Amino acid sequence: MGFDWSEFAGPSGDEEKWVWDTKGQTLEGVVRRLQAVETKFGRSPVASIETEDGTIYTLWIRQNALQKVMAKEAPTVGDTVRITFTDEVDTGKGNPAKLFDLEVERDDKGEPVPAAAPQADDDEWG
Nearest one of 68, 76, 66 to 121, comparing CA atoms: 76
Nearest one of 38, 30, 86 to 60, comparing CA atoms: 38
Architecture category of domain 18-108 in CATH: Beta Barrel (2.40)
pLDDT tens for each residue of 22-73 = 999 999 999 999 999 888 888 889 999 999 999 999 999 989 999 999 999 9
32: region left, alpha or beta (phi > 0 left; psi from -120 to 50 alpha): alpha
Q: Give me the residue spans of the domains in the chain.
A: 18-108
pLDDT tens for each residue of 66-104 = 999 999 999 999 999 999 999 999 989 888 999 999 999
Answer yes or no: is pLDDT of 9 > 60. Answer: no
Predicted confidence at residue 81, as pLDDT, reads 97
Q: Global pTM?
A: 0.74
**What backbone phi and psi angles, to 5 degrees, belong to 41?**
-100, 5
Predicted confidence at residue 125, as pLDDT, reads 41
CB within 8 A of 78, min separation 6: which ones? 30, 31, 107, 109, 111, 113
